[in-house]
Amino acid sequence: MVKTAHEDLHSEQGAVRGDRQARARNPVIKVEDLAWLEFEKPDLDAAEQFAHDFGFATAYRNDVELHLRGTLPGSQCVIIRKGRTSRFVGPVFRASTRADLERLARANGISVVDRRGLGGGAVVALEDPSGMPVRIVADVEQLPELPGQAPLLLNFGQVRRVNATQRPPREPARIERLGHVVLETPRFGRALDWYLENLGLIVSDFLHFPGQRDRGPTMAFIRCDRGATPADHHTLAMHLGPSRRYVHSAYQVADLDAVAAGGEFLKERGYKRSWGIGRHIQGSQIFDYWRDPDSVLVEHFADGDMFDNTVEVGWAQMSASGLAQWGPSATRDFIGAKPSAHMIRDLVVALGKQDNEFDIRRLIGLLKVATS
Ligand SMILES: [Fe+2]
């Protein structure tokens, strides 16, 4: 049965004949979820301090490696290794079984290797068509649950809290789990097909540049196909742009008060809010975006959409005003209106190269997104 979950707010359109595929007919495997994200940073002490203020717990730490986790059982959310500069290394996805890893490795002409390091398991190391290293793991030892932050008892709808006050403590939000990562790529279409065909991911929503519906999507919100078991609206989101780069990653907290009180805590500690608090359209999350000390963008979120594999793809126009149902206007910092020298260099290179999907009309579309 096909449900339509895309009828509200900028998301009213469905697919039409000839659109880019939203799911592969016969993917090699279907991954279960993102396992964790890997970064490098020069200062692990500063990274750990921010991580604790943001709401992570340290799962493991030595001189060259820091593992950060949430309260839910599972693997760590983030691995940070000591490196010369602050950079995103790549995403790691979790396959259901070692047999899936074998199938994926065979399809790509490589072998499964035993994973070295904490938690063991097995790994397949691939590269997506953008050149992003992507690893897929299985049988990694799972961390036990930690005490979490309970959602507040709310007197919405009916009275549940009587003779008791609402006094959430001013403390860091407690991260429950990793939700999603967003990447930019100059080879959007090829990269998208690669994730659909190799990892069995399926598209929840496509966005197109203003006035360029006929040229196909330039952003995709992609979820895991877990059959009848609901999955996050997007585990991976990708958009077309001049750079191959990490955009942001998002971590779930208990509820709106955890987002807001956790945000107040970060503000008091002097960290820089990029954009928030608001509620997204694609995915519906209540969101709050922060910059870590290396200016890496990270998101607290709560109450995101969970879709099983019956929900068909939605289509909408990409615009800065269409990023949220409510909340402050998207900031220049968030939408990348203040590009770094590095990003400007990537733009010039991308426009000069033929081997990517970023051209002058796409640049005009991207500029329209920022102002619409
Ligand atoms: Fe996000």
Query: Which residue, 313, 271, 250, 345, is CA-closest to 19?
Result: 313
Query: How far is the centre of ligand 1, averaged over its atoms, from the C-alpha of 172 (Å)?
Result: 19
Query: How far is the centre of ligand 1, averaged over its atoms, from the C-alpha of 29 (Å)?
Result: 25
| Domain architecture of the chain: domains with CATH | 5-140+174-371 (3.10.180.10)
Answer whether residue 8 shows pLDDT above 60.
no
Furthest-apart CA atoms within the chain: distance in Å: 68
* Cβ 115 vs Cβ 140: under 8 Å: yes
Question: How are beta strands 245-252 and 177-185 bridged, if at all?
Answer: antiparallel
Query: How far is the centre of ligand 1, averaged over its atoms, from the C-alpha of 114 (Å)?
Result: 32
Q: What sign has the CA pseudo-torsion 93, 99, 103, 105? A: positive
Answer whether residue 239 shows pLDDT above 50.
yes
What is the tens place of the pLDDT at every residue in 36-89? 999 999 999 999 999 999 999 999 999 999 999 999 999 899 999 999 999 999
Query: How far is the centre of ligand 1, averaged over its atoms, from the C-alpha of 275 (Å)?
Result: 11
Q: What is the pLDDT of residue 169?
A: 81
Q: How far apart are CA 191 and CA 339, in angstroms?
A: 23
What's the chain's average pLDDT? 93
Answer whether residue 3 shows pLDDT above 70.
no
What is the tens place of the pLDDT at every residue in 291-321? 999 999 999 999 999 999 999 999 999 999 9
Return the amino acid letter for 351. Answer: L
Query: How far is the centre of ligand 1, averaged over its atoms, from the C-alpha of 274 (Å)?
Result: 12
Query: How far is the centre of ligand 1, averaged over its atoms, from the C-alpha of 158 (Å)?
Result: 31
Return the amino acid letter for 263. Answer: G
Query: How far is the centre of ligand 1, averaged over its atoms, from the C-alpha of 360 (Å)?
Result: 27
Q: How far apart are CA 38 and CA 117, in angstroms?
A: 13
Residue 5's pLDDT band (cuts 50, 70, 90)? low
Question: Which has the minimum average pLDDT: 5-9, 67-71, 96-100, 271-275?
Answer: 5-9
Q: How far apart are CA 4 and CA 106, in angstroms?
A: 37
- Name residues whose C-beta falls within 8 Å of residue 64's C-beta, 6 or more positions apart in sequence: 44, 81, 82
Q: How far apart are CA 132 and CA 234, in angstroms?
A: 19
Query: How far is the centre of ligand 1, averaged over its atoms, from the C-alpha of 299 (Å)?
Result: 6
Q: How far apart are CA 83 and CA 89, in angstroms?
A: 11
- Name residues whose C-beta falls within 8 Å of residue 350's C-beta, 6 or more positions apart in sequence: 186, 242, 243, 356, 358
Q: What is the pTM of this model?
A: 0.94
How remote is the C-alpha of 226 from its chain's centroid? 18
Q: What is the pLDDT of residue 1?
A: 42
Return the amino acid letter for 258. Answer: A
Structure tokens at 97: 């079984």
What is the tens place of the pLDDT at every residue in 195-211? 999 999 999 999 999 98
First to last CA, the chain: 35
Q: How far apart are CA 85 and CA 344, in angstroms?
A: 19
Query: How far is the centre of ligand 1, averaged over its atoms, from the C-alpha of 75 (Å)?
Result: 20
Query: How far is the centre of ligand 1, averaged over its atoms, from the C-alpha of 327 (Å)?
Result: 14
Query: How far is the centre of ligand 1, averaged over its atoms, from the C-alpha of 250 (Å)?
Result: 5
Query: How far is the centre of ligand 1, averaged over its atoms, from the C-alpha of 282 (Å)?
Result: 10
Query: How far is the centre of ligand 1, averaged over its atoms, from the C-alpha of 66 (Å)?
Result: 23
Percent of the chain with pLDDT over 70: 97
Query: How far is the centre of ligand 1, averaged over its atoms, from the C-alpha of 262 (Å)?
Result: 17
Q: How far apart are CA 343 and CA 353, in angstroms?
A: 15
How remote is the C-alpha of 173 from its chain's centroid? 19
Q: What is the pLDDT of residue 16?
A: 82
Q: What is the pLDDT of residue 9?
A: 47
What is the tens place of the pLDDT at every residue in 352-363? 888 889 888 888
Tokens 């403390």 sit on residue: 171
Range list of H helices, the chain = 44-54, 98-107, 188-199, 256-268, 332-335, 341-352, 360-371
Which segments of 17-86 are extended strands (E)?
33-41, 57-61, 65-69, 78-82
Answer whether residue 124 shows pLDDT above 80.
yes
* Cβ 120 vs Cβ 114: under 8 Å: yes
Query: How far is the centre of ligand 1, averaged over its atoms, from the C-alpha of 79 (Å)?
Result: 19
Query: How far is the centre of ligand 1, averaged over its atoms, from the C-alpha of 35 (Å)?
Result: 17
